[in-house]
Amino acid sequence: MSSRERGPRTPPEVVSHYDRAPEETRLESGPFRLEFVRTKELLARVLPPPPATVADVGGGAGAYSAWLAGLGYQVHLLDASPRLIEEARRRHAARERPIASIAVGDACELPFDDGSIEAVLLMGPLYHLPESEDRSRALGEAWRVLSHGGVLAAAAISRFSSALAGLTLRLAGDSDFVRLRDRHLADGRHINDTGRIEYFTTAYMHRPDELQAEVASAGFADARVLGVEGPGWFLPDFDAQWEDPVLHKGLVDVARALESEPSMLGVSAHLLVIARRH
């Protein structure tokens, strides 16, 4: 069966989740602010200079697309959620430096020519495609559309993030949470059958070494996994520390210092794998 016959790989419950969850404002609150700051910092180090062409695949309502467009990049935003794509169009229509294109799309069937993109961001597909063959297809599509020497930056969720968040939120007495936690600690598959939106949606949670191996097996060179937030994201007084200039700097500095320490990678809620097409 061809990819076109099979249709989009994103599970329908994932699209339904983003019909309800306020993803467009997520990076503006709580420890997600550390994720946003650090992800931008890591991307700024590795992306080719503007006006390079960037595909932001799984970019939601365009938080990273808007930032990159503002820097002068030619950004093409794709996401599987029609609601978030409409939100991106509404938010960014009047920008002085607009996003070049905004469309509903499938990470496993990118609408770009071979070798036409200088950098591909996969900011959701690797954790919202629970089947390994679908993740491989998404990585293969990224490899296909990248120019030689082009950069891949792909986000993943750490296998251990939910367990750490559960400690901070004191969820050990919640049997639903414990069941979900133990299941994905065992095999990485997060299947939320509780109906509770706060427990996220269908996802695959990676071990750092597994993430690196998946990207390397797709043909990419120089794949390296970085921790995004370090340990600061699950501190119970994160908001207070974030608002204090000295403590804020400490959160970012520690995340930066530990970003490539193998023994600490899984402590970050999010991982970012950087690789190149040679």
Which tokens is 204 given?
Answer: 């695959």
DSSP states along 53-70: EEEEET-TTTHHHHHHHH
**pLDDT given for residue 7 in this prediction:** 45
User: Which residues are within 8 A (CB) of 218 and not within 5 positions of it... i.e. 6 or more apart?
Assistant: 136, 139, 140, 142, 143
**Residue 238 pLDDT class (50, 70, 90 cuts):** very high
Per-residue pLDDT reduced to its tens digit, 86-133: 999 999 988 889 999 999 999 999 999 999 999 999 999 999 999 999
The pLDDT value recorded for residue 6 is 41
CA distances from 229 to 40, 77, 87, 94, 185 (A): 12, 24, 27, 32, 20
What residues contact residue 117 under an 8 Å CB cut-off, 6+ apart? 53, 54, 55, 76, 145, 146, 147, 150
**pLDDT at residue 8, as a whole number:** 57
Share of the chain above pLDDT 90, in %: 94
Confidence grade of residue 264 (pLDDT, cut at 50, 70, 90) = very high
17 compared with 5, residue with greater pLDDT: 17
Mean pLDDT across the chain:
95
The pLDDT value given to residue 95: 86
Q: How high is the pLDDT of residue 4?
A: 36
Residue 153 is predicted with a pLDDT of 98
Does residue 51 have a pLDDT over 70? yes
Q: Residue 1: what pLDDT?
A: 27
What is the DSSP code (8-state) at residue 78?
E
Per-residue pLDDT reduced to its tens digit, 169-227 = 999 999 999 999 999 999 999 999 999 999 999 999 999 999 999 999 999 999 999 99
Q: CATH fold of 3-159+209-276, please?
A: Rossmann fold (3.40.50)
Candidate from 6-10, 233-237, 263-267, 270-274 with smallest mean pLDDT: 6-10
